[in-house]
Amino acid sequence: GIPLETLTEESQSRHVLPASFEANSLQKSNWGFFLTGLVGGTLVAVYAVATPFITPALRKVCLPFVPATTKQIENVVKMLRCRRGSLVDIGSGDGRIVIAAAKEGFTAVGYELNPWLVWYSRYRAWREGVHGSAKFYISDLWKVTFSQYSNVVIFGVPQMMLQLEKKLELELDDDARVIACRFPFPHWTPDHVTGEGIDTVWAYDASTFRGREKRP
């Protein structure tokens, strides 16, 4: 028969893992913890960055960020020719309309609910050299009064145009002009229209949609 000592050694050897196997297992465990932490950190970072973009979309009436095309900007500037006074872009996005207006000599302001876009707009204005005449603020458009502006630009959505129409009609001076991009206002008759398709721009003079004659 097999000596008892030999059986004992064989039995123990079956339960003892090689040192290299233990090292590999430990290494895999460490990588597992590292990857878990990396994925978790990445998700937190994505949430922090994306939340300001997503949150406005959860509101009942919102302005989704869709950058203006080069042609849309050209059409807006065309509607501002021979105009004076201050300008406001409602839902200014990345600031390109406000910056373009500032380059045309307007004192331009943009209101945007998304703080990341506001900070980026301020950087762009600084880079373009118009930060002195192009300002951006984090604000809900429904909490802002637009009575001090002579020119209003809006890239709206159909669900909000009626409500905004009523707000602007109450607040704007008779000399003001409202420029709508992508979607027209439901009840106003535009004084000027330019562009085609998604680049169409409608201009409404406040004296017209109030049924009053323009001031001399």
Angle at 167 between CA 186 and CA 155, to 5 degrees: 60
Which residues 6+ apart lie within 8 Å of 59 measured at CB? none
pLDDT confidence tier of residue 55, bands split at 50, 70 and 90: very low
CATH, domain range 70-211:
3.40.50.150
pLDDT in tens, 130-152: 999 999 999 999 999 999 999 99
Is pTM, for the whole model, over 0.75?
no
What number is the average pLDDT over the span 177-189? 95
